[in-house]
Amino acid sequence: MRVLAISGSLRRDSNNTALLRALREEAPAGVEVELWDGLKEIPPYDGDDDLAPGPAKVEAFRSLVREADAVFFATPEYNSSIPGALKNALDWASRPLATNAFRNKPVAVIGSSAGAFGGVWAAAELRKVLAAMGARVTEVEMAVGHAHDKRDESGELSDDEIRDGLREALDTLLAEAAPALAAA
Amino acid sequence: MSTIEQQVTGTFAADPVHSHVGFEVPYAVATFSGEVTDFTASLVDGHLEGSAKIESIKLKDENLQAHVLSPEFFDAERHPVLTFSGDVARDGDRATIEGEITMKGITQPATLEGTIVGPTVDHFGATRVGLKLETVVDRTAFDMKWNMPLPNGEPALGNEVTLKADLTLVAQEA
């Protein structure tokens, strides 16, 4: 089973990307977590460029999503909402809506932030956007506040409770994805 | 004055060309409606069974249709069929059916009410029964909870959905 992991942050030292690296470490045998690093290369959405095929980087992203059995997001929160770059990539991926790559795709969303609330509003908005795109949004909820305090000197996640939460979140996502695989 | 049969015996099947299955739901300031084009229904000694393919819901916009078929509403990928079954109780031209509807994998009791006409022999010699039924269901009981607030704070989409079936049922050869 392949899980595409998408961080909403472009920052080199991102807390959310660190969470997804930890997620990859916690993945059970037989589950490959692929961390997507193409977010910065997605051009700004422009309806004039929204042709078939779309821009090469957009088509590559759409293919990655289609080929994944599930998608796991970790997002920061900018101004109480989804980071622009992430929303932009989803706006591209959502086209055309009726047949978009996220349609019926099992997804999980978690968030983290430097503040106390762990990006709960961004995560809620991201779930709303994914549902509108037709994704199969799981009930996974995990908000990691003061995220920078939960990493060791090398930048990796050092909090065992959060690692447990990541495993649980991944289990929920995999369970949602399993019926589709069984039917395939 | 003709005598109306109180019970309909025998086996009948829906004539899809002369039958209609659809829904209505309050949306913003008006009523939004749609229809299902691929459905079957049978009436066997007063027991009605019906099923409808969710993918055949027809709306006037493909993106809206995609939303209605998505996991946020019907989840047509995993729950492709809506079913109904129940026994027709007839009182003159009134029909009441206490039955069960299954949508999105969830079964709920439902009472369909309406009219019944026939059995009547048509101009081609076939025996037909007409059933015009409707019921109101709470879509949230079937895990369809999507909504958006209007600027005045009220939800855009109503929860009470009227399901309608206008069936022409034709007697089947034994």
Contact B67 A132 (CB under 8 A): yes
Contact A98 B70 (CB under 8 A): no
Interface contacts (A, B; CB < 8 Å): 31
Long-range contact set of residues A11-16: C-beta below 8 Å, sequence gap at least 24 = A13/A155, A14/A76, A15/A76, A15/A112, A15/A113, A15/A114, A15/A144, A15/A147, A15/A148, A15/A151, A16/A74, A16/A75, A16/A76, A16/A111, A16/A112, A16/A147
Contact B70 A179 (CB under 8 A): no
pLDDT at B4: 43
Q: Provide the token pair at B13.
A: 């099947």
pLDDT at A170: 97
Whether the per-residue pLDDT at B141 is higher than 90: the answer is yes
Is B118 inside any structural domain?
A: yes
pLDDT at B5: 47
For testing the chain A interface, which of B72, B78, B79, B104 should be mutated: the one with the most A CBs within 10 Å?
B72
Contact A98 B72 (CB under 8 A): no
Overall domain count for chain A = 1
Is B123 inside any structural domain?
A: yes
Whether the per-residue pLDDT at A142 is higher than 50: the answer is yes
Q: Which range has the worst mean pLDDT, A89-103, A141-155, B95-109? A: A141-155
Looking at the partner chain, which of A97, A131, A136 has a beta carbon nearest the beta carbon of B66? A97
Which chain A residues are within 8 Å of B63, Cβ to Cβ? 96-98
Which CATH number do you get for residue B140? 2.40.128.110
DSSP per-residue codes, B18-63: G-EEEEEEEETTEEEEEEE-SEEEEEETTEEEEEEEGGGEE-S-HH
Whether the per-residue pLDDT at B130 is higher than 50: the answer is yes
Nearest CA in chain A to B69: A134
CB A33 within 8 A of CB A167: no
Residue A14's closest CA among A87, A106, A119?
A: A119
CB A28 within 8 A of CB A89: no
Contact B71 A98 (CB under 8 A): no
A133 to chain B, closest Cα gap in Å: 8
pLDDT at B2: 36
Three-class SS state of A12? coil
C-alpha span between B13 and B41 (Å, rounded): 6
C-alpha span between A115 and A25 (Å, rounded): 25
pLDDT at B3: 38
Is B3 inside any structural domain?
A: no
Looking at the partner chain, which of A96, A104, A134 has a beta carbon nearest the beta carbon of B67? A134
ipTM: 0.81
Which CATH number do you get for residue A35? 3.40.50.360
Contact A134 B63 (CB under 8 A): no
- What pLDDT digit, counting tens, does each position of B73-128 carry? 999 999 999 999 999 999 999 999 999 999 999 999 999 999 999 899 989 889 99
B58 to chain A, closest Cα gap in Å: 14
Whether the per-residue pLDDT at B9 is higher than 80: the answer is yes
Q: Which range has the worst mean pLDDT, A38-47, A115-124, B97-106, B112-121? A: A115-124
C-alpha span between B169 and B20 (Å, rounded): 11
- Domain ranges, residue A84: 2-183
Numbered residues of chain A with Cβ closer than 8 Å to any chain B Cβ:
96-99, 103-104, 131-132, 134-137, 179-180
Whether the per-residue pLDDT at A164 is higher than 70: the answer is yes
Looking at the partner chain, which of B62, B70, B146 has a beta carbon nearest the beta carbon of A103? B70
pLDDT at A116: 82
- Domain ranges, residue B84: 11-171
How confident is the model over B10-32, as a mean pLDDT?
94
pTM: 0.85
CB A57 within 8 A of CB A38: yes
Confidence of residue A180 (pLDDT cuts 50, 70, 90): low
Contact B70 A134 (CB under 8 A): yes
Is B55 inside any structural domain?
A: yes
Overall domain count for chain B = 1
How confident is the model over A145-172, as a mean pLDDT?
90
